[in-house]
Chains A and B, each alone.
Chain A
C-alpha cells in the first residue's frame, strides 16, 4: 500500500539504477544513517562502544571483504585471520615507525599492504578451485600467524610478542590509545564501514563486479565471453584483502589496543568471518552486516539476559548460550540456505504486494 513503485517516476537512467529505487527505502536508509551519525554519538557509552558498536562495525568490514571474495567471486578463503593479522601488524609498524601519520592514512596503508599479501596468496586460485583453494588459503592463515610470532621486527622486539597501540589521532581527535572518547572511535569506524559498504555496492554492480560474478557462476563460460580470469580473481583477492586488512588494523588499533598473533588472529577468526557471510547471506552487503551482528552480538545479548537478568551462574549461562546459538545456526541454515538476508528480501517482496497479493 505504501511500499511500492506506483507514483515513483524515474526520468533518467541514473535514478533508474539508483541503489534504493523505492522512495521509502531511501528515506528509511538515510534516516537510519542520520540517527547513527548525529544522535547515537551523544548517547554512546564506553560499554556500547567497546562491546557492541566497534566489534559490529569492524567485523562487518571483514565480512564485507570476505563476501567480495567468496560471495561475489566464488573463491573460498580460510585465510581471513591471517590477513587481519597483516593489517594489524602493518598498522602497528606504521604507528610506531611514523608517529605523526594520521590514523586514516595508517589504516589505508595497512589495507594496501594486506592487499599486496592477499594478491600473493591469491595466485594459487588461478590453478586450483573449491575445497582445494580453501586448503591453500588455510596455509596462508597458518603461515602468517607463524610469521608474526617468529619475526621479531614485526613486533618491535618486545619480549612477549605482544603489540600495543600507542595514542594516535584522526584530524586531531584521538582514535587509538587508552583515553579515547567513545563517540570518536564510534564515528571513525562507522564512517569507514559506510565508505566500504558504498565502495562494495558500486564495485559489484559495475564492470569489475560483473566479471567477478561471471567467474563465480561458471569460470570457463566467463573466460569464453572475454572475462580475464587472472584480473578478475586477483582483483577480488586484492579488494577483499584490502577490506580485511582495514578490519584487522581497526581491530587491533582502535578496538582492542593490544594483540598477540596466536590468540587474536587464530584460525577461529577465519571461521567466524566465514560463518558470518554464510549465515548472513553470500553475495549481499546487508547480509555481511546481519551475519556480523548474529555471530558477534547475539552471544553478548544472551550473556546479558541470562547472567544480568536471570542471574544464572556464568558457566551455565555460557553453555546455554553456545547451545542456543548453535541451534539457531542450524535452524537458519535449514530454513533459509541463502542466509538471513533472504528473509529480508522476501519480506520486501511481500510488502510491495500487500495488501493485495496475487
Chain B
C-alpha cells in the first residue's frame, strides 16, 4: 500500500514537471563527433535547415513554429538514452535517432510513453508491421527491401540469373549490419548464389583482412552495410585490391559523397541504392537557399548543402512536417501531442502532386502509410558515382523489392516479437 502511494506521488511529480509547450518540439538526436560524424553531420544539417526554412517561410506548421532541440549521441546507445530522457520532458513529438542501436533501445520505451519513432530506412525492419509495432515507422523502405533490390540489380547485370555466383556482404558488426543477413540468405536459396559474410568491427577503420578475404574468395559482387568511417575505408580498400567498382553496391547508408571522395578517382563507378534523387534542382532547395542560407542561418559549417545525406535529412524533416500537418487535420487542433503525432504518421499520404507542391518534384517515392503497413512502398533505385564530375546519378528507375520473400520474413519476425511481449495488435 505504501509503495502504491509512493508510486502515485512519484507519478504526480513527474507529471507536473512536464511543461506545456506552445511550439512543436522535435528533438534531433544527431552525431557530429566520433567515427560516424562524416555521415551524421550532413544529415543533421539537412534536417535543421529544412525545419528552419519551414519556420522562416511559413511560420511553422499551422501557425505553430517548430522548436528543434539538438542532442549529441555520438552514435552511442547510452548517450542516446540520455538524450531521449532529457528531451522527452519538453514535449517531444517524435524521435528519429539515425541509429539502429538507439532505435532498438527506444522501441519499447517510446511505445510505453506514447511517443512515435520514425526510423527512416533503418532500425528494426519488422517494425514495418504496424499491427505489432504501433509507434514505430520505417517508411519509405526497410533494410530487407534494400537487400532485395540490390540482389535484383545484380541479377539484371548478370542477365537475369545469379545461379552459381558468389555474393559477399561486408557489414558493420552490429545489429545494423546484421539486419540484411536473413533476407540475403533467403534470397540465396531462391536464386542459387553463394553468400559470403564478412563482418567489420566498430569503428571500421581496420579492414585489411576483410578485403584480403575478398581478394582470395573472388566474389562476383560485394554489397555493403557500412556506416561512418567504415564506408570510406571499405571503398578505398576495394579500390586498392582493384575490385571492379560497378560490382560493389552499398546500402543507402553507404551512399554519400563523404564515403566516395576519400578514394579519389578510384571510386569511380561505385554503386549504391538510393531512396531519393541526387542533386539540388528542387523547389525545396531553392527555398532553403532563400530563407536560410542567404539569411546566414545555415546549420553547421554550411558545406554539406546538396549532398546525398543532406537531402535525406531534408526528406526526413519533410516527412515530419507533413505528419504534423496530417495530425492537425485529423484532430482539428494546432497544438498536437505525441499521441496525435503518431496518428499523423500512421495516416501520412503524400502523392507525387503533393510532393511537387512541397518542392520535391519527382524526388522520391509516393508515401501511403496504413495501420498495417508502416514500412512504406519499399522502393529504391540504384545510383552510381562519377568521380570526374563528382556527382551521383540514378542509373535505374525506382523498383520494388521481392515482396514474397520480404513480407514473409517481416511477418515471422514481427509475430515472434508480438509473442515475446504479449502484443495482440492494435489494428482492427
- Interface residues, chain A, with chain B CB atoms under 8 Å away: 41-47, 50-51, 55, 96, 149, 159-162, 164, 166, 173, 177-179, 181-184, 256-260, 262-264, 266, 300, 303-304, 307, 313-315, 317-319
> Given A42-B13, A166-B420, is A317 in contact with B112 using a C-beta cutoff of 8 Å?
no
Complex: how many Å from CA A161 to CA B81?
Answer: 20
Contact B81 A319 (CB under 8 A): no
Q: Which chain B positions have C-beta within 8 A of A257?
A: 105, 108-109
Interface residues on B, range: 35 or more
Task: Name the residue on B nearest A142 (C-beta).
Answer: B201
A160 touches B178 (CB 8 A): yes
Whether A260 contacts B101 by the Cβ 8 Å rule is: yes
**In the assembly, what is the distance between CA of A182 and CA of B85, in Å?**
12
* Alpha-carbon distance A217/B322, docked complex (angstroms): 68
Q: Which residue of B lies closest to A303 (CB)?
A: B72
Give the chain A neighbours of B182 by CB distance below 8 A.
159
CB-CB nearest in chain A for B75:
A263
- Is B405 positioned at the interface, with any CB of A under 8 Å from its CB? no
A44 to B6, CA, bound (A): 11
CB distance from A314 to the nearest CB of B (A): 4
Min CB–CB distance B302 → chain A (angstroms): 13
Interface on B for A, CB 8 Å cutoff?
3, 6-7, 9-11, 13-14, 17, 30, 32-33, 37, 41, 70-72, 74, 76-78, 81-82, 85-86, 88-89, 100-101, 104-105, 108-109, 111-113, 124, 173-176, 178-179, 181-182, 201-202, 300, 413, 420-421
Q: How far is the CA of A258 from the CA of B17 in the complex (A)?
A: 27
Measured CB to CB, the nearest residue on chain B to A162 is B175
Which residues of B have CB within 8 Å of A96? 420
Residues from chain B with Cβ under 8 Å of A178 in the complex: 108-109, 111-113
A46-B81 in contact given A179-B112, A181-B7 (Cβ < 8 Å): no
Asked if B175 contacts A319 (CB within 8 A), the reply is: no
In the complex, what residues of B have CB within 8 A of residue A44's CB?
10
- 16 extra A-B contacts, CB within 8 A, seeds A51-B81, A166-B421, A178-B108: A42-B6, A47-B85, A50-B81, A159-B413, A161-B178, A162-B101, A164-B108, A178-B111, A183-B6, A184-B7, A258-B105, A259-B77, A260-B101, A314-B70, A315-B32, A315-B300
Point out the residues of chain A lying under 8 angstroms from B7, CB to CB. 181, 183-184
Q: Are A161 and B72 in contact (CB under 8 A)?
A: no
Roughly how many angstroms separate A271 CA and B426 CA in the complex, as a whole number? 45
Q: List 11 A-B contacts (CB under 8 A).
A: A47-B88, A50-B82, A160-B104, A161-B174, A161-B175, A164-B104, A181-B10, A263-B101, A263-B202, A264-B77, A318-B33
Hey, which chain A residues are within 8 Å of B113, CB to CB? Answer: 178
Question: Does the CB pair B173–A159 fall under 8 Å?
Answer: no
Measured in the bound complex, the distance between the Cα atoms of B32 and A183 in whole Å is 34
Our pick among B32, B81, B173, B202 for the contact of A314 (Cβ within 8 Å) is B32
Q: Which of B33, B85, B174 contacts A262 (CB 8 A)?
A: B174
Question: In the assembled complex, which residues on chain B have CB atoms less than 8 Å from the CB atom of A46?
Answer: 14, 85, 88-89
Note all chain B residues with C-beta closer than 8 A to A263.
76-77, 101, 174, 202
- In the bound complex, how far is the Cα of B173 from the Cα of A303, in angstroms? 29
Nearest Cβ in chain B — how far from A50, in angstroms? 5
* Complex alpha-carbon distance, A185 and B33, angstroms: 31
Interface contact B30-A314, CB-CB below 8 Å: yes
Is A42 in contact with B9, judged by CB distance below 8 angstroms?
yes
For the complex of A and B, 7 pairs with smallest distance between CB atoms:
A315-B32, A178-B112, A178-B108, A160-B175, A314-B72, A162-B175, A179-B112
- The listed residue with most B CB atoms (<10 A of its CB), out of A41, A44, A173, A258, is A258
Q: Which B residues lie within 8 Å of A166 (CB)?
A: 420-421
B226 to chain A, nearest CB (A): 14
With a cutoff of 8 Å between Cβ atoms, the chain A residues found around residue B85 in the complex are 46-47, 50-51
A303 cross-chain contacts in B, Cβ below 8 A:
72
The docked-state distance in angstroms from the alpha carbon of A184 to that of B6 is 10
B33 pairs with A45, CB closer than 8 A:
no
Tell me the bound Cα distance from A184 to B181 in angstroms.
39
Q: Give the contacting residue for A315; candidates B14, B33, B202; CB below 8 A.
A: B33
CA distance A300 to B82 in the complex (A): 9
Are B72 and A317 interface neighbours, CB within 8 A? yes
Closest to A44 in B: B10
